[in-house]
Homo-oligomer: A and B are copies of this chain.
Amino acid sequence: MSTNVMSPMHPVSDLSAHTGFLMRMVSNAVSQGFAGKLAGQDVTLAEWVMLRALYGGKPLPPSLLARKMGMTKGAISKLADRLLDKGLIARTDNPNDKRAHSLSLTHEGIAKVPALARLADESDAAFFIGLSDADHAALRGLLHKLINAHALTTAPVE
């Protein structure tokens, strides 16, 4: 124990007083619901995000994926291994740098994305169906404000 910078007594507010807490509650519920649907396709949330990140674009090096997905390079390395085992992505050596390589979708991976995208659409629609169009739009607007305010650029995977 270092500096016992002890705070004077502080009122202990309820957990639900924190918007961040509410946020986490709702976010976890959405993610769990979606993860459940993905599980039926033998895909995890993180795997879906990586597959989506590789879909319709050029092959990407793990380092870039790590930044895009907000994960460490170690995590990306293992995640890529799993997708490689499942035959959904492939590695391509970089001819200019023998340390590096790029990741891309296999035919099987490409074929799988649309089905997963449909699940994502359905899952999202189902969860937010309780909101009116106006509410839904408002929510998205607020989230974007926060994303901009904090310059969030990564795709969390929890």
Contacts and interface: CB of A to CB of B under 8 A. Distances in A.
Nearest to A45: B24
A15 B21 CA distance: 24
A10 B114 contact: yes
A7 B131 CA distance: 27
A120 B26 contact: no
B115 A56 contact: no
Contacts of A52: 12, 15
Interface stretch (A76-84, A86-94, A138-146): A138-146
Nearest to A22: B143
Contact of A26 (B12, B13, B135, B146): B146
A146 B110 CA distance: 34
Contacts of A95: none
Interface string A36-67: 00000000000001001101100000000000
Interface in A126-158: 127-128, 130-131, 135-136, 138-140, 142-147, 149-150, 152, 154-158
Interface of A: 2-13, 15-31, 34, 49, 52-53, 55-56, 70, 110-111, 113-115, 117-118, 120-121, 123-124, 127-128, 130-131, 135-136, 138-140, 142-147, 149-150, 152, 154-158
